[in-house]
Amino acid sequence: MTHLSKAAAAAGVLLAAAALVTAGPAQAAPDVTRDGDHLYLTVTTGDGHFDDTRVTLLLCDPPQGHSRAAEACARLDAVGGDIARIPPARGAMCPMIYAPVTAQARGQWNGRPIEYRETFANSCRLAARTGPVFALDG
């Protein structure tokens, strides 16, 4: 089954690339590397055998990138962009099920580089610890 899903993903990438080639003149992507708070967010579920990865770019001026971008930007602003300083959710009760999920962030906040990586026992613990920042599901 893994072979089929990788083949399907590869076919999707090829179709997307072909669409870009025939779509007309390319437009420049916004330059987020010089100005503004931004983070490349990655959430990977799995233990290395059958992983699922979601990726997005969170921009915070104006907030965009995923459905809870405004909340994520506000939460990050409250801790100066330091994800490790986000206070855990009060009263969160997560199951004791091991389904590892790794959250990664790379970018800049207030002109400082941001690097964050942590593996949580499950997605509930990730949500309880980081709030809306890694809520990439929509």
Prior bond of 113 cis (ω within 30°): no
8-13 own/partner pairs: CB under 8 Å, 24+ apart: none
- pLDDT tens profile 9-31: 444 433 344 343 334 344 344 44
Asked whether 83 and 105 are in contact (CB, 8 A), the reply is yes
Sheet with 38-45: strands ordered across: 63-64, 52-60, 38-45, 101-109, 112-120
DSSP, res 29:
P
Tell me the domains of the chain and their CATH numbers: 35-84+93-138 (3.30.350.10)
- pLDDT tens profile 26-72: 434 444 444 678 999 999 998 766 778 999 999 998 999 888 999 99
